[in-house]
Structure 1
């Protein structure tokens, strides 16, 4: 995720200090990825101490015990803590066990661990009103992306975008809210915070309603074990029960289980690129032979919504214009759902250079199989053309989308009064018949894009090479999709590794 300036966002200062601690472990041969993973165990224990929520952690493994341990004892105590906290026979709390399951330290020198604990303990921690743990972790991922020139491996959604999407979709207590690509829980945490703010921290709700909010309302799937661990940590620190979170592949049969159907609201940023094979679910009938993530995830969202449910989904540009299965999927989307709004996002707001994305806002029809298209018109807001280049020196902020928020209106289903701004403006209306005349291509551009590409400011050979690698991977993915369409089956393309 990207961050405001240090003056406006104290988490940026914290992240910088945490990142500098990496030097303590570099002499142990620790990689950046290993360091970030290691740090999350310590951060979780520290955050539990800060929030005075250590009752589910045995006293000998709490932050205070680690902090007071001698240098000769601290490493052995820490190793034993990681083992025992992940042992269901020793720890009664299932969420703690799930968080620390198979956890292990790569620290070899007790002195280094002692310095790391002391340094973390000496940092100034910011208000828990924000998603402190998520901010710290994802800020470290951003640092790792900048340091390694290769990106962090996953496109975590900028917090500013999460906030805007949640604000527009207006989650309500009593609704089932799902993220089928949950990551570290940014959308779920933000939706939970939004609802708590509207209900005096849920105190306005009955005990039964409160229990639903904390145990059943939020549901998610994450397929990467290390990220799933962080998701559990994040929700635990927000007092949310993890029972409706699964470590699984959404495109496998697990994603079609009952608890991931009939969602009132879906908020998600699915993975992009090749999936390593087509979905293994029987219900994804349109994208069943597509060996990439984005199209099957969109079909999942369409099918997982209850009748009348709504969604806001981040997708790459190719979802708007791909032929074959892509076109068939768009037709299904506009038939079963009211695709009322598309937001064309600026480039440079994700880790990878040149990633071009959009947000689809749609509402499932109240009919199981509508006799005619549920979409009558699509409104497109172009926040990309003429936008400034975003990146390390110019982070993406909520204020950058304020004009879009105003144009979108108050109704989460896109029914607020709207005004077409004509060819000189950013917000345009296109009827379903106009879109059909374009071959159902939704990649509609009317403004001249005078913005600089995100990589125009790159200077070092490593940065330029990383940008070239990103474009090559994108090109190969598009070739693979084309081959799959031509051959009538999925084709896997092995992507080359860039030289370090």
Structure 2
């Protein structure tokens, strides 16, 4: 966990960059990401040199052995004059890392071709390098903390993208991962990965639960094959790749793909899908993959993505995804067709309704988490509904920590379905029979099934109330006379 002191240091770097003229949070993180990558290359080279010195075995070189190439290493340039650093990074190091798209390089370097060095002045660059170096040298002790540091920086992305995509808060991601409880043998995908938060949360969960018992083969799988992320924003793909690298996942499948288009033909490939797909976007009807239109003929991304999750999961694969409330109850043919597909042809397990403040300050949209298993042969007998009222944070723009938190209760109840069997629709969670859902046009809104109990209030008879008012009038008049006597005295 990052301490308050480390957060303050990060905020100080951030303030220095803003003061220097870079005010777009995405640009700030992007430029810091490049510097973190440049530093990591030198760390890797130093590690290789240590191994080489101990074993006398030649190790692969990242930086060629000539003087000019060696001068591009972080440890060599970081203490130089600010103007010299700016010249080295801008004209030598940056072109060098942009050209690193080789076979054996990281997922991060694959998306460097269109990267731009935008640090405005030598002074700002020096402050960024000094600030990062101090964090790494004195505060960031291990890879986990590097991951936490990067997550903290990504948390400063407080604006939604043009298609309505926004970063899912970590505690919500962690809840969704724990609902599915992935194992080291699962293949996990987020087809709208953004900054790879769901993949990172899955990796953290697997390490927490299975680290002591994982085989070498499972660790190799963990470093690459286990995790796939798709996105159409190359900046987000760079963030994803860096985020995963800092969580020990060096060779993930991070690919530039429009997931709902014809260019994505992936089918029956994953055990687990975790996603928060874009809500407000529509796509060109011509580019939509025909097999998604067969499930629900629409241009709305939030519907197309759920249809896509069904296609990309293998039979028996499970999904936990976030959808806007409209998906649950809207009356269009496409909305109904998608809900019917989930209920009739697969196993819809849970609908967890979340309060509208969960995604503030990005948006105040009301959302729900759907949990389902791809069967292709039905299996929905009853659906578990939960009305989340609190997530451990205030539901305003500040999102300050508060005590009220339904997430532990959600996880405990979801994993103990027998204990939910006798719960009534007047309670916070309950089961609804499939017949009731199909009879309601496959409406999945919790309000359709929740029963509100109104307390009966007993009022006194009108004559009793009038007598009480008369007595109050007499008391007031008496007090007024008393007050006049005091003023007159």
Tell me whether the two structures share a fold, i.e. TM-score over 0.5. Answer: yes
Q: 1:360 aligned to 2:370?
A: yes
1:125 aligned residue:
140
Aligned-pair CA distance for 1:71: 1.8
User: How do residues 331-346 of structure 1 correspond to structure 2 at under 5 angstroms?
Assistant: 331-346=340-355
1:112 aligned residue:
124
2:484 aligned residue:
none
Cα 1:10–1:311 shift into 2, 3 Å: farther
Match of 2:275 among 259, 268, 275: 268
**2-structure distance, mates of 1:135, 1:10:** 16
Cα 1:167–1:150 shift into 2, 3 Å: closer
Aligned-pair CA distance for 1:257: 2.7
TM-score (norm 1): 0.76
User: How do residues 164-183 of structure 1 correspond to structure 2 at under 5 angstroms?
Assistant: 164-183=175-194
User: How do residues 65-80 of structure 1 correspond to structure 2 at under 5 angstroms?
Assistant: 65-79=76-90, 80=92
Is the contact between residue 344 and residue 379 of structure 2 (CA under 8 Å) also seen in structure 1? yes
Is the contact between residue 313 and residue 360 of structure 1 (CA under 8 Å) also seen in structure 2? yes
Is the contact between residue 189 and residue 228 of structure 2 (CA under 8 Å) also seen in structure 1? yes
**2-structure distance, mates of 1:184, 1:398:** 28
Aligned-pair CA distance for 1:289: 4.2
2:321 aligned residue:
313
**2-structure distance, mates of 1:52, 1:165:** 38
1:34 aligned residue:
27
1:377 aligned residue:
382
Match of 2:20 among 19, 25, 30: 25
269-278 vs 314-323, greater mean Cα deviation:
269-278
Is the contact between residue 274 and residue 321 of structure 2 (CA under 8 Å) also seen in structure 1? yes
User: How do residues 310-459 of structure 1 correspond to structure 2 at under 5 angstroms?
Assistant: 310-323=318-331, 324-350=333-359, 351-365=361-375, 368=376, 370=377, 373-384=378-389, 389-395=395-401, 399-409=405-415, 417-445=419-447, 446=450
Cα 1:177–1:92 shift into 2, 3 Å: closer
Is the contact between residue 269 and residue 315 of structure 1 (CA under 8 Å) also seen in structure 2? yes
**2-structure distance, mates of 1:246, 1:275:** 21
Cα 1:448–1:40 shift into 2, 3 Å: farther
> Which of 1 and 2 has greater Rg?
2
Cα 1:391–1:187 shift into 2, 3 Å: same
Cα 1:152–1:116 shift into 2, 3 Å: farther
More helix by share: 2
Unaligned runs of 5+ residues in structure 2 are 49-60, 64-69, 454-489
**2-structure distance, mates of 1:427, 1:89:** 51
CA RMSD of aligned residues (A): 3.3
SS at match of 2:241: helix
Is the contact between residue 268 and residue 314 of structure 1 (CA under 8 Å) also seen in structure 2? yes
Aligned-pair CA distance for 1:341: 0.8
2:241 aligned residue:
232
Q: Higher RCO, 1 or 2 (CA under 8 Å, sep at least 6)?
A: 1
**2-structure distance, mates of 1:355, 1:81:** 43
Cα 1:151–1:68 shift into 2, 3 Å: farther
Aligned-pair CA distance for 1:111: 2.2
Cα 1:267–1:161 shift into 2, 3 Å: same
SS at match of 2:407: helix
Is the contact between residue 424 and residue 447 of structure 1 (CA under 8 Å) also seen in structure 2? yes
Aligned-pair CA distance for 1:127: 5.6
Q: 1:297 aligned to 2:305?
A: yes
Unaligned runs of 5+ residues in structure 1 are 450-500
**2-structure distance, mates of 1:160, 1:64:** 37
Is the contact between residue 230 and residue 256 of structure 2 (CA under 8 Å) also seen in structure 1? yes
Cα 1:36–1:402 shift into 2, 3 Å: same
Match of 2:11 among 2, 16, 25: 16
Aligned-pair CA distance for 1:96: 4.8
Q: 1:185 aligned to 2:201?
A: no
User: How do residues 244-263 of structure 1 correspond to structure 2 at under 5 angstroms?
Assistant: 244-257=253-266, 261-263=268-270
**1-structure distance, mates of 2:344, 2:154:** 37
Cα-to-partner distance string for 1:168-195 (whole Å, 9 max, x where unaligned) = 2111111111111111111111212222
Cα 1:75–1:263 shift into 2, 3 Å: same
Aligned-pair CA distance for 1:400: 4.1
1:137 aligned residue:
153
**1-structure distance, mates of 2:428, 2:222:** 38
Aligned-pair CA distance for 1:433: 0.7
Aligned-pair CA distance for 1:286: 3.6
Cα 1:96–1:141 shift into 2, 3 Å: closer
**2-structure distance, mates of 1:397, 1:34:** 35
**1-structure distance, mates of 2:176, 2:252:** 25
**2-structure distance, mates of 1:280, 1:97:** 29
Cα-to-partner distance string for 1:374-403 (whole Å, 9 max, x where unaligned) = 211111100138995244242489954111
Is the contact between residue 164 and residue 405 of structure 1 (CA under 8 Å) also seen in structure 2? yes
**2-structure distance, mates of 1:49, 1:396:** 42
2:293 aligned residue:
285
Is the contact between residue 390 and residue 406 of structure 2 (CA under 8 Å) also seen in structure 1? no
